[in-house]
Structure 1
């Protein structure tokens, strides 16, 4: 998470959406950089609303911070998680995916509360879900349109931005059957609908 105080902007870091590169580029000009622990670095809207918003409002008398975030096409997002957990450093870890195919990973992901640890990666729609008190992401960008995202940041922060690759997952060809795709789209329609609304 990055906070740009004078610009009234908070950048929420949705995992596996290229945010590490953005944070590396913008950390030097941010007023607050939350890089650890992961639960705060990747604080979703509900956690921002519960912890950070009250701090800004009560301690700093500011209630007009805007939230921004990036969202990735859901199947591509899951593929990135799968590849990330295929890294050599993950061998022997309970979250590793070396022992399953991408198809098996996605099927496990759809099991709800009964899913295995390696497929427990959350939901982008849940991460971005508006709160009953009106707190929501004001500026949401599709991962697939980087120029639009960078243009917004450059205009809002009034400076050029150059992104370098960071935290890139191993490349591999991944396939998902049409039947599994259909089930995924049905079970996680909120994610697909939200992403499609951005394009």
Structure 2
């Protein structure tokens, strides 16, 4: 999480959406940088509203605007899958080293997935408890030009985002049947990504 106090903007960091690169580029400009623990660094909107928003409103007298980035659900899962295939997780319950991407996605579709596929939800990150969008400016990871243009204009900076915390290279082929099951079981993830295409234009 990054807080830009003077610009009245809070950046909520959805995991696996390039947030480490954004943090690296914008940390010097931020009034507050929440790096640890992960529960704070990657605080979803419901946690932000419960713990941080009251503090910020009390201190500043107005509610900061919130921005976030979401990624195409299949690519997002692919990033998690590759990230958990790294050498230091071999033998760990989170490891995907010997699991196919199809099996990873099928496990993710379950109500209570196994540890290796328990990676959370972009939808739950950005929606409030009533299922409404809780982000003022929601961008697609795939549309970096729009994201950068917004940040440069809002924060009066010039950005050159570096690739940081990159997942290992590993093929992520997804069969049509599994792709269809993912869209059926986790349709809200695709709905949120579709919202991002419109929300970022606000």
Does the TM-score normalized on the shorter chain lie above 0.5?
A: yes
Tell me what 1:165 maps to. 163
From 136, 154, 164, the counterpart of 2:134: 136
Structure 1 segments unaligned to the other structure (5+ residues):
none
TM-score with structure 2 length normalisation? 0.93
* Aligned pairs for 1:88-99 within 5 A: 88-99=87-98
Aligned-residue offset at 1:157: 0.1
Aligned-residue offset at 1:195: 1.0
Residues 90-132 of structure 1: per-residue CA shift (max 9 Å, x gap): 112221111211111111111112x111110111011100355
Runs of 4+ in 1 over 6 A off after TM superposition: none
Tell me what 1:125 maps to. 123
Residues 54-96 of structure 1: per-residue CA shift (max 9 Å, x gap): 11123x1433200000010000000000000011121122211
Number of residue pairs matched? Answer: 196
Tell me what 1:154 maps to. 152
* CA root-mean-square deviation: 1.4
User: Which stretch shows the higher mean deviation, 15-24 or 95-104?
Assistant: 95-104
TM-score with structure 1 length normalisation? 0.94
Structure 2 segments unaligned to the other structure (5+ residues):
198-202
Residues 129-172 of structure 1: per-residue CA shift (max 9 Å, x gap): 0355x882000000000010000000000111111110001122
**Alpha-carbon separation, structure 1, partners of 2:5 and 2:160:** 21
Tell me what 1:70 maps to. 69
